[in-house]
Chain A
Amino acid sequence: MNVSLFVTCLGDLFSPDVGIATVKVLEHFGCTVDFPDDQTCCGQPQYNNGYPGEARTLAERMIRVFKNSQYVVTPSGSCCAMVREHYPVLFKDDKQWENDALEFVAKTYELVEFLTKVLKADITGLALPKPMAVTYHFTCHTRGLHMNESPAINILKNLGNATFVPLDKFDQCCGFGGTFAIKYTDISAAIVKDKVTCGNATHADVMIVNDAGCAMNIGGACHRYGAQFKPQHLAQLLAAAIDNKQH
């Protein structure tokens, strides 16, 4: 299976280790991964702030960059949702672009979604290097990807050396919301503090946060206010388990 990695603009700069872990995981489950390095940004900030023209420009570019990909996989739920939910809206009824856009939409997946729906990855035998309590933050955009039952939690429950602890108000937003976090600072702060409080209450070592924006927000609050847990991407846990197996 040939997979092109869509690492996202935030991931590229702020969490490259998540990108590397994603590649490792995909390769472990039998994929050949390439990285079309012309990629920049899917246009989500432009779209969310009411600049559809600018978003459309970047969307066209994305479609071109991934034209020859069989599958496009991203570790970021929100960027995947941008493509799957909003590209159809951006290109609706556009005779020139609509087909290419819908083709791109059909082949774009979020990592956990791809692992479970397409690869039907079997994680039997994978175990973390040492025992860890893990909780899960339901990143908002997985709502749009119809992942309500959270296959990520299934993976955590089956991962060796990982003890899953449910998070109170697991589906409440972390308060990032892009520009919301800097424009409506006090509200965003109240929301992220709530998330950290809930996280601390689980006494988990790790909170799975499968989105760079959320991770920066929660991580930043953890560092400022003190937390017992660290936000990590599921890809990082799986990559650690894969490394563990190979040794």
Chain B
Amino acid sequence: MPTTLDNLPPSAGATGSDKVHAADLPRGMALPVFNPDFKAAAHLSSADDLLHAAHENSIVKKWYDRRNLLATDLPDGDGLRALAGNIKAHTLDHLDYYLEQFEANVIKNGGHVHFASNAEEANQLVVQIAKQTNSKLVVKSKSMVSEETELNHALIAAGIETVETDLGELIVQVANDHPSHLVYPIIHMRAKQIGEVFAKFFKVPFTDDPQVLAEMARVYLRERFNTADMGVSGVNFGVAETGSIVICTNEGNGRMCTSRMRVHVALMGMEKLIPRFQDLPVFLKLLARSAAGQPLTQYSNIITGPKRAGEFDGPEEFHVVIMDNGRSRILASDYRDTLRCIRCGACLNACPIYRKVGGHTYGSIYPGPIGALITPLFNGLEHHEHLPQATSLCGACYEACPVKINIPEMLIAMKGDLKLVGKVPWYEKWVFRMWTIGLKSKFAYVLGQKMQRFAMRHLFKSKDGWVTKLPGPAKGWTEVRDFPQPPKKSFRELWKERRQNSV
């Protein structure tokens, strides 16, 4: 865990904001924050046409691919999501039982299980395993937990060379940047930027041809796969019944990291468990469809323990590090359902806000609708007051979610929680209270209507029946669009007339 923010790399993402206000953030937060000022970042990114174009070309397309696939390709896409949600809910409600079952089965199959309460402990455990196994080079396939803990920094600080093997994550590592999507880490980068980064890193002439760039990475990484001592992976699903972990990749780097080295360490958030081996089709059939609009990733790898006696490849040692880092607190709360998340990223792809501001604006490694909930849950709501508020509550995330997390409902609840951490100005509460009182009486309501109508038709600046400048807290509206003037007569007045005319 970084104890200062001095050596945090600048966020080189499309937001253009590289100010990190170290003084504003307390030490030891569960999730590292690389961009604490949501509003400032959103101001820049919401005007970033290149970012929007990049999103149109990628995640927006994947959103519609997902929609089509779920409708045409599965017997009952909606029913399957409900089943997946129920399985996850059940698992979470009995997580203690399933953790013990998982642990017993990992050990039965020759693996080791470690329990880490926080980022520091997790990093220490991994560094310790590396040292005990004399591992000098570590290759990593994608692990969001390792980004929570900033594992790479810890390994490198301990003198252990560490290389990301997912192409997007490698580029992030080499560029000293941050991922901007759960599944597509460099969605914010153009091929030209990547070309510049690689030209510098590999000391070769510049190219922006994706084929050539990928080939550079492949050759570089193949050499590392050939000589690495330890592979570190994430876990998409942990199967309690068999003590297995499942890794889904398209590139095959996950398989490389877990097949060719002496040691394999898997980092798993505690909530990633599912009860049974045959639950896997439910989740595998939803994961890639939700994330990418494709039926499966190219490789679904189910790993149970180290290699067996007599096998010619596979790790000699297999370790699972199970992570808390605040998940137990979320489990205990009304926000338990957020732990169903399988990190597919569909809610990001669906979200009109994410589409316009991009992942970096959210400030942590978990962006988008799910990130808007879990970032405050991990770090404290007072540090992320805008995240649950910057939503239009459109519900696309709920439609997207393969495990039916009711994200909008929880965003509303979290807005209510803002009062508990002193992030609601006293006058806002007063305004809502008075407004409600006004709406309880027909007389007050109608009077309010008349006052509003008068002000908007005669007091505020307007043009052709549209108000062009609203005062006070509403001024944000007219900064960017006009507001219709109320017509001369309200519906209830017209209704009365209609009644009178027909009598």
The answer to whether A and B come from one shared complex is yes
Chain A interfacial residues counted at CB < 8 A:
64
B94 on interface, CB distance cutoff 8 Å: no
A220 on interface, CB distance cutoff 8 Å: yes
**B491/A191 in contact, CB under 8 A:** no
Per DSSP, chain A at the interface is helix
Proximity bits, B347-366, A CB within 8 Å = 1, else 0: 00000110111000000000
Enumerate chain A residues within 8 angstroms of B295, measured Cβ to Cβ.
none
Which one of B17-25, B171-179, B189-197, B408-416 is at the A interface? B408-416
**B392/A180 in contact, CB under 8 A:** yes
Name the interface residues of B476-503: CB closer than 8 Å to any CB of A: 476-477, 479-484, 486-487, 489-495, 498
**A186/B43 in contact, CB under 8 A:** yes
B418 on interface, CB distance cutoff 8 Å: yes
Which one of B133-141, B268-276, B434-442 is at the A interface? B434-442
How many Å lie between the Cα of A204 and that of B440 in the bound state? 41
A103 on interface, CB distance cutoff 8 Å: no
Task: Give the Cβ gap from A144 to chain B, nearest Cβ, in Å.
Answer: 6
How many Å lie between the Cα of A121 and that of B40 in the bound state? 50
How many Å lie between the Cα of A184 and that of B429 in the bound state? 19
Contact of B352 among A38, A191, A216 (CB under 8 A): A191
B393 on interface, CB distance cutoff 8 Å: yes
Taking CB as reference atom, which chain B residue is nearest A53? B436
B396 on interface, CB distance cutoff 8 Å: yes
Enumerate chain B residues within 8 angstroms of A11, measured Cβ to Cβ.
491
Name the interface residues of B325-354: CB closer than 8 Å to any CB of A: 352-353
Contact of B392 among A12, A19, A20, A188 (CB under 8 A): A188
A12-B490, A13-B486, A220-B484 in contact; A190/B442 too (CB < 8 A)?
Answer: no
**B356/A187 in contact, CB under 8 A:** yes
Q: Which of B47, B357, B495 has the most CB of A within 10 A?
A: B495
**B491/A7 in contact, CB under 8 A:** yes
**B412/A50 in contact, CB under 8 A:** yes
A172 on interface, CB distance cutoff 8 Å: yes
Enumerate chain A residues within 8 angstroms of B399, measured Cβ to Cβ.
143
**B46/A190 in contact, CB under 8 A:** yes
Contact of B477 among A20, A41, A43, A185 (CB under 8 A): A185
**B418/A50 in contact, CB under 8 A:** yes
Q: List 22 A-B contacts (CB under 8 A).
A: A9-B439, A12-B449, A13-B486, A13-B490, A14-B486, A14-B487, A16-B487, A16-B491, A20-B494, A37-B442, A40-B440, A50-B419, A58-B436, A58-B439, A143-B394, A172-B355, A173-B392, A178-B392, A182-B473, A184-B390, A191-B355, A223-B481
Q: Kindly list 9 other residue pairs between chains A and B, CB separation below 8 angstroms, not including A178-B392, A225-B481.
A: A12-B492, A16-B487, A20-B491, A35-B492, A50-B412, A51-B432, A54-B435, A140-B393, A223-B464
9 pairs of A and B residues whose beta carbons are closest in the complex: A177-B392, A50-B415, A50-B416, A189-B480, A16-B491, A173-B394, A185-B476, A140-B394, A220-B481
**Which residues of A come within 8 Å of B, CB atoms?**
7, 9, 11-14, 16-17, 19-20, 23, 35, 37-38, 40-41, 43, 45-52, 54, 57-58, 61, 89, 140-141, 143-144, 169, 171-173, 175-178, 180-192, 194, 216-217, 219-221, 223-225
